[in-house]
């Protein structure tokens, strides 16, 4: 793509950055911003706001406050949006006191609080279950003649319902009409969910009927999920199925959560034929069963005493986790991949060699080689890798416990990770241990280790590895000679470089 000769106006630059932030393409966002700086960008207050918002979204509060300091130094006065973004970020990271301090200081800094700032604070107090704090903020809002909107009321109602204070939540749903704010789908969903958790199904269906008659929003998939779950929790699964069918008639497509709710319900009342029919229906509609689907089916079959079927599903569940973990690593979503791995362990599922190889590979690719090594040692091996006490390698004993012996792919991923992160001696150490255990390196692995040695200028080690490669009757390819040639050139051995160049041609 041809690069523009000069930057567009600041407004256009900010719009472009905001677009990537809203679509959660943060890698492109930061690359684009760096390029803008190289082309002479001098950020204004609006661009700083976007940068701070991006940092807060990523949980990088330190960097967010660095941008705040920078904009103050450049005499770009922070505005209400600047501080509100920081407050949201602080609440998200549970830095409660700091969020409150900024909020209480804003007016003394000459920044007027707006409705969005108050909504952020109310939301934070609701998440921390601080009932008194949020009601004080609500009173303050009204005292400053700030008219609450549907976000304000839905946040308050949701917090009260989660605490079981359904009476107060209902009062707010009535009070909001006084401000010409009408309950929407979100507000009704909060109220319905609160009554479901209190096992008040009469109240639930009264709200559902009220929603259909007067609400400014119609029931959505989440409304039906709440209603179906409420019925299933009380063992009224056939009625939940009737509601499920009505949902389809109304043109609302059920999702995996809807199906899982019913499958779990039938499992609990030990009607596994219906649960299995729903699972088949789910797949026919192109919806992939997830971990919860498998968990519900396994639980149901165990209750029926059908252990063989449950065991088969258990294996499929491990495969499903592996696919999800791999998918998140491919999308650079490390946090979610590791959350799934943790969840897998907590459920008592034993990760197999494929799962752990994916995790080792994913962690290495983002530079977290020591985390990768820890998982490798704990779950697959306990040997000389990073072992400061020089115990014997107990890999077979450890691997038997987890039924998960490392393979050539696992070792390759780990060695490659250490090499690309510049930890060449550690990579060579793991390589030697792998060979001692009887694994035979493939061409790619030799290339990786040779490249690492050449990169550090350890040409003697590189030549030894090349000799080992030939000795094992593995034919070095053009890439092998290219890597060796670059090493010789850097080392100043131009004669050997020329020989490698001839082998490449």
Domains detected in the chain: 1-112 (1.25.40.10), 440-505 (no CATH)
Report for 2-16, 241-255, 385-399, 431-445: range of highest mean pLDDT = 241-255
CA–CA dist 297, 244 (Å, integer): 19
User: Is a pLDDT exceeding 60 seen at residue 397?
Assistant: no
Give the integer Cα–Cα distance in Å for 315 and 323: 13
User: Does residue 295 register a pLDDT over 90?
Assistant: no
**Cα(148)–Cα(401) distance, rounded to whole angstroms?**
59
DSSP code of 376? H
The answer to whether 34 touches 43, Cβ cutoff 8 Å, is no
Look at 289 and 91; give whichever has higher pLDDT.
Answer: 91
Choose between 193 and 311: higher pLDDT. 193
Q: How far apart are CA 171 and CA 336, in angstroms?
A: 38
Q: Choose from 228-237, 390-399, 406-415 the range with maximum mean pLDDT.
A: 228-237
Confidence of residue 240 (pLDDT cuts 50, 70, 90): very high
Calculate mean pLDDT across residues 359-379.
77
Give the whole-number percent of the chain exceeding pLDDT 70.
92
The secondary structure element, H or E, covering residue 315 is helix 307-330
Provide the pLDDT confidence category of residue 382 given band limits of 50, 70 and 90: very low
Q: How far is CA 49 from CA 17, 70, 73, 75, 80, in A?
A: 11, 12, 15, 14, 10
Query: Across the chain, what does the average pLDDT equal?
Result: 83
Alpha-carbon distance values, 357 to 70, 172, 261, 312, 327 (Å): 43, 52, 33, 22, 13
In angstroms, the CA 411 to CA 4 distance is 45
- The pLDDT of residue 489 is above 90: no
Q: What is the mean pLDDT of residues 24-36?
A: 87
| Whole-number Å distance between alpha carbons of 56 and 487 | 43
How much is the pLDDT for 385?
42
State the average pLDDT over residues 406-416. Answer: 80
Give the CA angle between residues 360, 364, 366 to the nearest 5°: 125
Which pLDDT score is estimated for 400?
37
In this structure, of 43-47, 97-101, 176-180, 306-310, the range with the lowest mean pLDDT score is: 306-310
Here the contacts of 173-178 (C-beta below 8 Å, separation 24 or greater) are 176/148, 176/150
Within its chain, how far is the Cα of 417 from the centroid?
Answer: 22
Distance CA 403, CA 350 (A): 8
CB 427 within 8 A of CB 441: no
Enter the DSSP assignment of 289: P
Q: Residue 440: which region, alpha, beta or left (left: phi > 0; alpha: psi -120 to 50)?
A: beta
114 — pLDDT class (breaks 50, 70, 90): very high
Average pLDDT over residues 9-28: 89
Q: How many angstroms separate the CA atoms of 192 and 170, rounded?
A: 11
110: which DSSP letter?
Answer: T
Q: How many CB atoms lie within 10 A of CB 267?
A: 24
pLDDT score recorded for residue 379: 65
Give CA–CA dist 283/82, Å, rounded: 46
Question: How far, in Å, CA of 412 to CA of 443, rounded?
Answer: 11
Neighbours of 235 (CB within 10 A): 12
DSSP string, 167-200: HHHHHHHHHHHHTT----HHHHHHHHHHHHHTT-
Nearest to 218 by CA among 226, 209, 229: 209
- Confidence band for 83, pLDDT divided at 50, 70 and 90: very high
Torsion of Cα atoms, 54 then 59 then 63 then 68, to 10°: 60
Give Cβ neighbours of residue 144 (< 8 Å, ≥ 6 apart): 113
pLDDT at 120: 92
| Residue 158, pLDDT above cutoff 80 | yes
By three-state DSSP, how is residue 99 classified? helix
The predicted-structure confidence for 317-367, as pLDDT tens digits, reads as follows: 777 777 778 788 878 788 888 888 887 777 777 777 777 778 888 887 777
């Amino acid at each position: 793509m041809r690069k523009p000769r000069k930057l567009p106006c600041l407004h256009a630059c900010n719009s472009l950055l905001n677009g990537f932030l809203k679509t959660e393409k943060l890698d492109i966002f930061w690359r684009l911003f760096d390029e803008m700086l190289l082309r002479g960008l001098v950020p204004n207050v609006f661009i700083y706001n976007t940068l701070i918002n991006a940092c807060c979204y990523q949980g990088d509060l330190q960097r967010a406050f660095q941008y705040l300091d920078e904009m103050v130094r450049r005499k770009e006065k922070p505005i209400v949006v600047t501080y509100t973004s920081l407050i949201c970020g602080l609440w998200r990271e549970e830095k409660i006191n700091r969020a409150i301090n900024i909020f209480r200081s804003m007016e003394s800094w000459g920044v007027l609080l707006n409705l969005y700032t108050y909504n952020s604070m109310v939301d934070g107090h609701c998440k921390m279950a601080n009932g008194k704090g949020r009601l004080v903020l609500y009173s303050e809002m009204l005292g400053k003649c700030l008219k609450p909107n549907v976000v304000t009321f839905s946040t308050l109602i949701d917090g009260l319902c989660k605490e079981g204070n359904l009476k107060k939540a209902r009062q707010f749903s009535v009070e909001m009409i006084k401000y010409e704010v009408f309950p929407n789908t979100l507000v009704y969903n909060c109220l319905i969910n609160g009554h479901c958790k209190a096992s008040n199904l009469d109240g639930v269906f009264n709200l559902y009927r009220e929603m259909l008659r007067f609400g400014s929003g119609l029931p959505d998939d989440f409304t039906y999920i709440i209603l179906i779950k409420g019925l299933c929790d009380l063992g009224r699964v056939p009625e939940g199925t009737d509601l499920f069918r009505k949902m389809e008639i109304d043109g609302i497509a059920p999702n995996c959560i809807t199906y899982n709710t019913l499958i779990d319900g039938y499992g609990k009342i030990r009607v596994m034929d219906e649960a299995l029919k729903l699972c088949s229906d789910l797949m026919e509609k192109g919806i992939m069963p997830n971990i919860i689907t498998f968990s519900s089916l396994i639980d149901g079959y165990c209750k029926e005493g059908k252990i063989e079927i449950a065991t088969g599903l258990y294996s499929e569940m491990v495969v499903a986790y592996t696919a999800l973990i791999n998918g998140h690593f491919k999308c650079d979503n490390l946090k979610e991949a590791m959350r799934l791995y943790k969840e897998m362990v907590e459920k008592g599922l034993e990760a197999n060699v494929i799962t752990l190889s994916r995790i080792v590979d994913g962690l290495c690719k983002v530079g977290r080689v020591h985390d990768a090594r820890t998982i490798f040692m704990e779950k697959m091996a306990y040997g000389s890798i990073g072992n400061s006490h020089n115990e014997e390698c107990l890999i077979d004993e450890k691997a038997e416990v987890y039924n998960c012996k490392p393979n050539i792919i696992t070792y390759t991923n780990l060695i490659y990770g250490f090499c690309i992160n510049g930890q060449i001696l550690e990579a060579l150490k793991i390589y030697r241990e792998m060979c001692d255990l009887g694994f035979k390196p493939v061409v790619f692995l030799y290339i990786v280790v040779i490249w690492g040695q050449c990169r550090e200028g350890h040409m003697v080690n590189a030549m030894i590895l090349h000799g080992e490669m030939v000795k094992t009757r593995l034919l070095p390819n053009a890439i092998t000679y290219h890597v060796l040639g670059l090493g010789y050139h850097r080392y100043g051995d131009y004669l050997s470089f020329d020989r490698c160049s001839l082998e490449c041609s």
